Structure 1
Amino acid sequence: MDVSFVGGPTPQRGVGIVAPFDFALDRELWRWVPDDVSLHVTRTPFVPVEVSLDLARLVSEHETLTEAVRALSAVSPEVVAYACTSGSFVGGGVGERAMAAAMSRAGEMPALTTSGALLHALHELGVRRIAVVTPYTKSVTDSLEEYLAEGGMEVCGRSYLGLTREIWRVSYREVVRMAHEATEGSPDALFISCTNLPTFDMIPQLEAELRMPVLSANQVTIWDALRRIGKEAVGPYQALLDPAARRGPAAMGGVPDPAQPPAPPAFAGSAFAADPDTAVSEAGETPFPDEPLGPA
């Protein structure tokens, strides 16, 4: 078929992504991206250190980030994001802002980090009390809590796995279990930390079950990067992305969209209609696969 008359491929907007060397979820990032945007992904150099505060500091050194951004500059992205939660909160709020500034100078473009994007998302939703789920050790999870507290957030529940490697192998079922454990204190929202933890498919279901917004590291990173260039992230019925979702199950936990009038409970007549405790499948299990996303 002769396609020469078309004049070339559709013009693309570019988003640069700097990821840690062990990042395994490139395809998950793409699922939030509209068709006219391309992600340009590069990785930090390998270091033989397990997931820890030490690793978070190593992969977020300014020299490492600026070299990665300069490499991305060759394809002229409009914005660049550092897609690493622990690497961007390990230095606290001052450290996070310094990383973003260093990246912006290196590429002469807007820059952001996952942890900075998280605070922007929480403010967007009007959240003050948050529960966190992490795959990290206690020390790394404590550092996340400190960062959130510095940003004006109260952490009122948490659950963590204590992993130091191969986080991308964690199953949806395990994350769902931790989500329910962490939110027993009725927070305003839940944050699932780590860009190497698969979350895309579980967010709508968890929002329906927990009756609150559910944010994840990859979700907030792409959401913030796209809005910097006037684009919107795509995804099925997620409170951060869809105002209608804020008036549905996610609003029932006390964080409705202030610009909209109250709405009746969503999913009337369904398994989620009246009782949050019924928000499971008829078989009594959360309908997520046992196997994780990402490479084997």
Structure 2
Amino acid sequence: MPTELSVGLTEPDRQQGIGVVAPFDFALDRELWRWVPEDVSLYLTRLPFFTTPVTVEMAVACGDRRAVRRATRDVLTPEPDVVIYACTSGSFVDGAAGEEVLRRTMEDAGAPAARTTSGALIAALRVLGVSRLAIATPYVEPVTRRLVAYLAEHGVSTVSSEGLGLLGNIWRVTYSQVVEIVRAADNPAAEALFISCTNVPTYDLIEPLEQALGKPVLTANQVTMWAALRAMGRDAVGGGRLLTSQDHLTPGAA
């Protein structure tokens, strides 16, 4: 006999989820949650802590295969539909081959599907048909140069770039600072603009910046969550031309 409490109750559908492997200093968990539908959960884990400033060496350390494999396994228990490596510099620092190794490492660790922020960026640029890009970064110049080189490997030319030169505390960058660096980085020859680093807050800025610049604006957290949800056949929640593109739900090797 059903109890009075259970009468009329229906079992919820299986919760869909995204496993997120993030750097130890990632501080924008709430921004990631803003991109996902209410019936999708995020299972976040951090890579090991270390004291290196935000340099090429730190980016390389964030992409350490053993640490990424361990972190991937940490988020598999709740059975995510996809695991995303949510670090831009850590996924572009070793070029296209390094990004591929990261994805393969997560898949070998058991991820049902795997994506990285830098791989997601390339997929987004292809969806939008962009081959000339302006980039705004929080990084020091050597790190920004690695991003330029990574893009070039994929046939994307960087027509202009601007960096804040930060060695730490990137999550403290304000919206006004983001707007300032975007305006400095924009170039008439650029078909779109990319704001790098998953620790840079951008959620509320994308549509206003697109209106002001007259071109698509992509951001690290936007493409990260877009790619993860795309792998699940789902829509991201938010603004920007990427999310309204015709084939935004076509599964791909982001």
TM-score range, shorter chain: over 0.9
Corresponding position of 1:11 = 14
Question: Is 2:204 the partner of 1:170?
Answer: no
How many residues are paired up? 243
Q: Secondary structure at the match of 1:107?
A: coil
Residue aligning to 2:241:
239
Instruction: Please report how far the alpha carbon of residue 186 of structure 1 lies from its aligned counterpart in structure 2 after TM superposition.
Output: 3.1
2:203 aligns with 200
**Contact 2:82–2:111 at 8 Å: present in 1 too?**
no
Match of 1:39, SS state, is strand
The alignment's TM-score, normalised by the length of structure 1, stands at: 0.79
Contact 2:84–2:228 at 8 Å: present in 1 too? Answer: yes
Taking structure 2 as the reference length, the TM-score comes to 0.92
Q: Percent identity at matched positions?
A: 50
Cα shift readout 1:90-125 (whole Å, capped 9, x = no counterpart): 000000001100111102411011000000000000
> Displacement of 1:243 after TM fit?
3.6
Give the counterpart of 2:59 among 56, 59, 69.
56
Q: Which residue of 143, 146, 161 corresponds with 1:158?
A: 161
Correspondence for 2:73: 70
> Hey, what's the Cα distance between the residues in 1 that align with 2:117 and 2:53?
20
Q: Hey, what's the Cα distance between the residues in 2 that align with 1:204 and 1:160?
A: 22
User: Cα deviations across residues 159-190 of structure 1 (Å, max 9, x unaligned)?
Assistant: 10000111011111111111111113430000
Structure 2 segments unaligned to the other structure (5+ residues): 247-254
Alignment RMSD (CA, Å)? 1.5
Q: Are the aligned partners of 2:87 and 2:117 in contact in 1 as well (CA < 8 Å)? A: yes
Inter-partner Cα distance in structure 1 for 2:195 and 2:66: 28
| SS of equivalent residue, structure 1 residue 16 | strand
Tell me the residue number matched to 1:109.
Answer: 112
Query: What is the DSSP-based 3-state SS (H/G/I as helix, E as strand, rest coil) of the residue aligned with 2:134?
Result: strand
Q: Which residues of structure 1 form unaligned runs of 5+?
A: 245-296
Partner amino acid, structure 2, of 1:112: R
Question: Residue 144 of structure 2 contacts residue 163 of structure 2 at CA under 8 Å; is this kept in 1?
Answer: yes
The answer to whether the 8 A contact 1:157-1:185 is kept is: no
Q: How far off is 1:3 after superposition?
A: 6.4
Cross-structure match for 2:135:
132
- State the 1:36 CA deviation: 1.4
Aligned partners of 1:199 and 1:76: how far apart in 2? 29
Determine which of 39, 42, 45 is the counterpart of 1:42.
45
Contact 2:21 2:71 in 1 (8 A): yes
State the 4+ residue runs in structure 1 displaced beyond 3 angstroms. Answer: 2-5, 7-11
Deviations 1:228-258 (A, max 9, x none): 111111113x1000149xxxxxxxxxxxxxx
- Residue aligning to 1:83: 86
1:26 aligns with 2:29: yes
Are the equivalent residues in 2 in contact too, given 1:10–1:36 (CA < 8 A)?
Answer: no
Deviation of residue 6 (structure 1)?
Answer: 2.4
Q: RCO (CA 8 Å, sep 6+): is it higher in 1 or 2?
A: 2
Q: Distance in 2 between matches of 1:49 and 1:85?
A: 17
